[in-house]
A and B are shown apart, each in its own frame.
Chain A
Amino acid sequence: MDFLSSVFVEPFVQIGQYPLFFVEVVIGGLLSGVMYSLVALGFVLIFKASGVFNFAQGAMVLFAALSFAGLMEHGLHWSIALVLTMGIMALVAIAVERLVLGKLVNQPHIILFMATIGITYFLDGFGQTIWGSDVKVLDIGIPQTPIDVGGVFINQFDIFAAVVAGLLVLVLAVFFQKTRVGRALRAVADDHQAALSVGIPLKTIWAIVWTVAGLVGLVAGIMWGSKLGVQFSLALVALKALPVLILGGFTSIPGAIVGGLIVGVGEKVAEVFWGAAFGGAIEDWFAYMLALVFLLFRPQGLFGEKIIERV
């Protein structure tokens, strides 16, 4: 009885009592969700263009952040470090295409998926061999202190992150809709063979997609890195992005954003108001359960393309 009340009654009483606090939790959740979306975007880009579920996105986030912070530690100006890191990510993308994906054409999806786990291990080890495993402080000069908006505390850093994510989506949208390469990417995403037959170079396109995903990873890495310090644990943010991915659909960029927001709000509200009933720390699985329940009703995710199967 106690348990039932703590699940079905008390949380709502609390929400009713402190509506302002509820608003604050929701806003906090939305802003955390943006951070998840940043990571999820990289997954979506690659899955859309090549059908590869790129588990290495988390490792790419870490690797990009490590390279950026490491170069800055060597006394480079941040702008030079940024350009160099972008170059490094492009090299990684080309290497991945040449050495891994190019050799695994026509293999089942699960093999490609496993290969990206191999890439994950390699990048984790490689990044740490070069840059070391101690924490690198990455200060991009955004204040971490909260501002008070009508009784609701909002972290300035989180707002900045949201703005960055918004800009990123905007840039990606322009890139996909307005540029030649972007159109080619969309063509490849729709149908590999049709794209090939109209003369779109598949391999180049893949290298470009991985580069773009690497750059998105770099942005995510800088944001997460300046939040937590650049260290090995950054690679684990990938696990936070997976439920976002299934919620939003593997192939949809707006899906990644909306999915991130839903997951962010859902898990924060659940943890704050329902956490006590279950003993706390439910954030970790809550997002997955949410996604799971959701999938039962829409197996292709929120914005995913409907799967049509024929025998």
Chain B
Amino acid sequence: MTFKKLSAAAIALAIGFGATMLTDTAAMAQDGGQYVPGTVYRSGPYAPGGIPWANGYADYFTLLNERDGGIGGVKIVYEECDTAYNNDKGVECYEKMKGNSPAVFQPLSTGITYALLDRLKADKIPMITSGLGRADASDGTIFPWVFTLPVTYWAGADAIVQHIAAKEGDLKGKTIALVYHDSAYGKEPIKTLEYLAEKHGFKLELFPVAHPGLEQKATWLKIGRQLRPDYTIMWGWGVMNSTAIKEAAAVGYPMDKFIGNWWAGSEVDVEAAGAVSKGYLSAQFHGAGADFPVINEVKTHVHGKNKGAGPADEVGDILYNRGLISAVFTAEGIKVAQDKYGKRPLTPEEVRWGIENIDLSEARLKELGLTGLLNPVKLSCADHEGGGAVLIQQWDGKAWKPVSDWIMPNRDEYLRKMYEDSAAAYAKEKNIEPRDCSKES
């Protein structure tokens, strides 16, 4: 009895596998459109942040298909794969989708970014890590397949310190604390902040928080009751953010001296923390709210036709907007590549060229209805970051309000050099021959 049941199950499994083997090439053949993979996470511990991003990313392609009939007449075939913010699953998604001539991958996880680096190169597929991933990948001569537009973590850290300096004047003798997710992601800004601490003469105190960050009482007792830093910067994600805000409030740390990065500054974080989060600051590389032409278009053409990927009331949320902006980068790369290679479904290699030649000028942003949502970005063979800017916003209890102008990170002064040095070290370790940009068309 038992045995029969089990052997039946085993046979079913085997048949299932056989079927996968037969269909995994057939089913995924392109249906005449441009295939865009979405490696998103709608499950797992970080799903609350992953869902709005994924909805924004999906909705923009729906908008293009509904309003314009795709890009240059080529329909976008968008397919999602759930990574659960898990590196192995991310790799599996990538391997599954890479055979369909994917335009570009946007993994939305620094860990998955690292896992894909080698594979992208072998498979000749580009990847955009918009506001995440490794900062030194901005050096396009060493990382031809990776794009970090519009800003990296290093640039973000620099912009935050610029903002603090603008508020405080001289930073000499001040103390700044960094509370960070103890992972590849959270450690990214440390190097930049250490450099700046030396330059400006402020004291940097590091407070790692172990994944997932449910307990931070000790950290905040130390920050709030003993150290009392002039400012606290947070590099957090997921449940860690709201916990930090709550614990900060519990030790009476002033919210307007507490600045999160762009992954620690969404509605999800402050709403979960409740009323205490009023006044909390965060750095963004795009605007918040629904008051932009492109968002209105989404409302009419996507949610108006009931084709939205998520609920209509999240349109305009920080993470939704970020997903949408990320989709703009993908779409713009495809568009630029189409101008060169023709209006047809493109290969990943062609899209890579397109992304590398993205020029989102003021005029182009206006055309796309993105004015105010994003600052201009222009990429080149060597510069894969594109000179984006950062905005500091404040939570007023109901919405995020900008409290600064666009802050331009000091790339020329030192960031660019840091990218190049770090990338060169990577190239040496991996035996990579730098690309000669003077020979690129």
Chain A residues in contact with chain B, CB under 8 A? 18, 21, 24-25, 28-29, 32, 128, 133-135, 137, 139, 144-146, 153, 155, 157-158, 227-229, 231-233, 236-237, 240, 267-268, 271-272, 275, 279-281, 283-284
14 extra A-B contacts, CB within 8 A, seeds A133-B47, A153-B252: A21-B221, A21-B225, A28-B218, A133-B48, A133-B51, A135-B268, A144-B250, A153-B251, A158-B250, A229-B239, A236-B214, A272-B226, A280-B207, A281-B208
Residues of A within 8 A of B45 (CB): 231-233, 236
Indicate if the CB atoms of B215 and A240 lie closer than 8 Å. Answer: yes
B278 CB → nearest A CB, Å:
12
Indicate if the CB atoms of B272 and A135 lie closer than 8 Å. Answer: yes
With A146-B251, A228-B243, A268-B218: A153-B210 Cβ-Cβ less than 8 Å: no
Indicate if the CB atoms of B48 and A134 lie closer than 8 Å. Answer: yes
Q: Which residue of B lies closest to A232 (CB)?
A: B45
Task: List residues 250-283 of chain B with CB under 8 A from any CB of chain A.
Answer: 250-252, 268, 271-274, 276
Residues of A within 8 A of B215 (CB): 32, 240, 283
Q: How far is the CA of A281 from the CA of B271 in the complex (A)?
A: 26
| Candidates A24, A133, A157, A229; contact of B225 at CB < 8 Å | A24
Residues of B within 8 A of A229 (CB): 239, 242, 271-273
Q: Which residue of B lies closest to A125 (CB)?
A: B43
Q: How far is the CA of A296 from the CA of B45 in the complex (A)?
A: 34
B9 CB → nearest A CB, Å:
15
Q: Which residue of A lies closest to B272 (CB)?
A: A229
Indicate if the CB atoms of B221 and A283 lie closer than 8 Å. Answer: no
Task: List residues 179-216 of chain B with CB under 8 A from any CB of chain A.
Answer: 182, 206-210, 212, 214-215
| Candidates A18, A25, A228; contact of B242 at CB < 8 Å | A228
Indicate if the CB atoms of A134 and B242 lie closer than 8 Å. Answer: no
Q: How far is the CA of A281 from the CA of B242 in the complex (A)?
A: 18
| Candidates B43, B225, B272; contact of A228 at CB < 8 Å | B272
Residues of B within 8 A of A134 (CB): 47-48, 51, 268
Contacts across chains A and B counted by CB atoms under 8 Å: 115
Asked if B217 lies at the interface with its beta carbon under 8 angstroms from chain A, I say yes
Residues of A within 8 A of B209 (CB): 281
Asked if B42 lies at the interface with its beta carbon under 8 angstroms from chain A, I say yes
Indicate if the CB atoms of B214 and A25 lie closer than 8 Å. Answer: no
Indicate if the CB atoms of B218 and A133 lie closer than 8 Å. Answer: no
| Candidates A135, A268, A271, A281; contact of B48 at CB < 8 Å | A135
Q: How far is the CA of A267 from the CA of B210 in the complex (A)?
A: 13
Indicate if the CB atoms of B225 and A153 lie closer than 8 Å. Answer: yes
Interface residues of B: mostly helix, strand, loop or mixed?
helix
Q: How far is the CA of A97 from the CA of B19 in the complex (A)?
A: 37
Q: How far is the CA of A174 from the CA of B267 in the complex (A)?
A: 44
Indicate if the CB atoms of A233 and B218 lie closer than 8 Å. Answer: no
Asked if B286 lies at the interface with its beta carbon under 8 angstroms from chain A, I say no
- Mark B51-94 against chain A: 1 for CB-CB distance below 8 A, else 0: 10000000000000000000000000000000000000000000
Indicate if the CB atoms of B239 and A231 lie closer than 8 Å. Answer: yes
Asked if B387 lies at the interface with its beta carbon under 8 angstroms from chain A, I say no
Asked if B44 lies at the interface with its beta carbon under 8 angstroms from chain A, I say yes
Residues of B within 8 A of A228 (CB): 214, 239, 242-243, 246, 272
With A146-B250, A228-B239, A233-B238: A133-B272 Cβ-Cβ less than 8 Å: no
Q: Which residue of B lies closest to A133 (CB)?
A: B47
Q: Sort A-B residue pairs by CB-CB distance and give the 8 closest, nearest first.
A: A229-B272, A271-B218, A133-B47, A233-B239, A281-B208, A284-B210, A135-B48, A155-B250
Indicate if the CB atoms of B250 and A157 lie closer than 8 Å. Answer: yes
Residues of A within 8 A of B242 (CB): 135, 228-229
Residues of A within 8 A of B226 (CB): 18, 21, 272
Residues of B within 8 A of A279 (CB): 208
Q: How far is the CA of A153 from the CA of B249 in the complex (A)?
A: 11
Q: How far is the CA of A301 from the CA of B207 in the complex (A)?
A: 32
Indicate if the CB atoms of A24 and B43 lie closer than 8 Å. Answer: no
| Candidates A137, A153, A272; contact of B271 at CB < 8 Å | A137
| Candidates B43, B225, B250, B271; contact of A135 at CB < 8 Å | B271
Q: How far is the CA of A227 from the CA of B214 in the complex (A)?
A: 10
Indicate if the CB atoms of A144 and B246 lie closer than 8 Å. Answer: yes
Asked if B219 lies at the interface with its beta carbon under 8 angstroms from chain A, I say yes
B222 CB → nearest A CB, Å:
5
Residues of A within 8 A of B222 (CB): 271-272, 275
Q: Which residue of A lies closest to B238 (CB)?
A: A233
Q: Which residue of A lies closest to B243 (CB)?
A: A228
| Candidates B43, B218, B243, B274; contact of A267 at CB < 8 Å | B218
Q: Could you jot down 6 A-B contacts, CB within 8 Å? A: A28-B221, A134-B47, A137-B274, A146-B251, A231-B45, A272-B226
With A240-B215, A281-B208: A144-B249 Cβ-Cβ less than 8 Å: yes
Residues of B within 8 A of A281 (CB): 182, 208-210
Residues of B within 8 A of A283 (CB): 210, 215, 218
Residues of A within 8 A of B44 (CB): 133, 232
Indicate if the CB atoms of A137 and B250 lie closer than 8 Å. Answer: no
Q: How far is the CA of A257 from the CA of B160 in the complex (A)?
A: 43
With A128-B43, A232-B47, A279-B208: A268-B221 Cβ-Cβ less than 8 Å: yes
B297 CB → nearest A CB, Å:
25
| Candidates A133, A236, A280; contact of B43 at CB < 8 Å | A133
Q: How far is the CA of A272 from the CA of B47 in the complex (A)?
A: 31
Q: How far is the CA of A29 from the CA of B243 in the complex (A)?
A: 16
Residues of A within 8 A of B251 (CB): 146, 153
Indicate if the CB atoms of B274 and A144 lie closer than 8 Å. Answer: yes
Indicate if the CB atoms of B250 and A280 lie closer than 8 Å. Answer: no
